[in-house]
Amino acid sequence: DWTPGHVVDDLVESIREQVGEDRVLCALSGGVDSSVAAALVQKAIGEQLTCVFVDHGLLREGEAEQVETDFVEATGVDLVVIDARERFLEALAGVTDPETKRKIIGEQFIRVFEQAARDIVHDRGDEQHPVKWLVQGTLYPDVVESGGGEGAANIKSHHNVGGLPDDLQFSLIEPLRTLFKDEVRQVGLELGVPEVIVWRQPFPGPGLGIRIIGAVDADRLAILRRADAIAREELTRAGLDRDIWQCPVVLLADVRSVGVQGDGRTYGHPVVLRPVASEDAMTADWARVPYDVLATISTRITNEVEEVNRVVLDVTSKPPGTIEWE
């Protein structure tokens, strides 16, 4: 019988067997998957776990703070925060190809982790129990879509599965790799992870880096962050969070169109709203967000984000579109 309680018991037991007395690091992103994975491992091995949150600068507004305060308060995990924003921006400078972006972000991520592991071992002087394990919140659909499943095509390199360097210095613990998202949420609730985290919509590991079509830089990130915050705020205000699987906001950074504002001509960028309905992200339909909600989002974004003069709606299902544009 599938119950969240049984799943938790089984996973806790196998995590304990797997790691023994070793130290474990967890890649915390603030999303549902890594949060539930961390809570699960925390339940299994408690103080042997250190969570590391890499601020790669590709996060949405308020996300770093939510991890640094909300999650830590709720779970009591040991958290190390690493500010790697400059490093990621430098590595991504001028890169436009989606798979190259994903590989760069994934690789930087692992390098930062490896350094964190060395620092943690060094700081604690606990050479007998080196950090051997890295927890990742990989789900079943990630495994399949990164080509890990039998006969699956490599559609995108999800940065928590594909794109890992060959000389990786950790062994992976992926306790959620047989589960779908709805199952992960049930497991999270069973573990006492707060509902605001359990019900958070999915957000990709490479973050806003794959929602800027074109090269990523600090200015473009700031534009997208503001537009995204407005869209999220209005969707929440309309009570649509649980009806919509997620709503990527995508900045077409290399596209410009002519507009008019007040008495003047504008020549700004479009953003795309990509609201989708889905069960498991393997397939999706475009979500029928009410027109008045779309109108409010469009008006606010074009009024409040100076560089954006056009808001367009993506009405493509998956397949043939993927949810993210890159």
Q: How far is the CB of 206 from ligand XMP (least distance, A)?
A: 5
The CA-atom distances, in angstroms, between 280 and each of 97, 144, 181 are 26, 12, 6
Q: How far is the CB of 174 from ligand XMP (least distance, A)?
A: 12
Please compute Rg for the chain using Cα positions: 20
Q: Residue 310: CB partners within 8 Å, gap ≥ 6?
A: 257, 259, 268, 269, 270, 271, 302
Listing DSSP states for 180-210 in one string gives -HHHHHHHHHHTT--HHHHTPPP--TTGGGG
Whether 57 has a binding-site annotation, put simply, is no
Write out the residues near ligand XMP by the rule CB under 6 A. Answer: 145, 156, 158-160, 202, 204-206, 246, 281, 318, 322-324
Whether 163 has a binding-site annotation, put simply, is no
Q: How far is the CB of 58 from ligand XMP (least distance, A)?
A: 11
Alpha-carbon distance of 200 to 192, in angstroms, equals: 15
For the chain, the maximum distance between any two Cα atoms, rounded to a whole number of angstroms, is 70
Structure tokens at 223: 């534009």
List residues bridging with 81 in a β-sheet: 53
**Three-state DSSP state, 33:** helix
Q: How far is the CB of 130 from ligand XMP (least distance, A)?
A: 27
Q: Residue 279: CB partners within 8 Å, gap ≥ 6?
A: 180, 182
Listing DSSP states for 216-234 in one string gives --HHHHHHHHHHHHHHHHH
Strands 264-273 and 257-261: antiparallel
Q: How far is the CB of 136 from ligand XMP (least distance, A)?
A: 9
Q: How far is the CB of 33 from ligand XMP (least distance, A)?
A: 7
Residue among 89, 87, 91 at smallest CA distance from 104: 91
Listing DSSP states for 110-145 in one string gives HHHHHHHHHHHHHHHT-TTS-EEEEE----HHHHHH
Between residues 37 and 120, which has the closer beta carbon with respect to ligand XMP? 37
Between residues 121 and 277, which has the closer beta carbon with respect to ligand XMP? 277
Q: How far is the CB of 232 from ligand XMP (least distance, A)?
A: 14
Whether 31 has a binding-site annotation, put simply, is yes
Whether 34 has a binding-site annotation, put simply, is yes
- In the annotated binding site for ATP, the residues are 29-35
- In the annotated binding site, the residues are 29-35
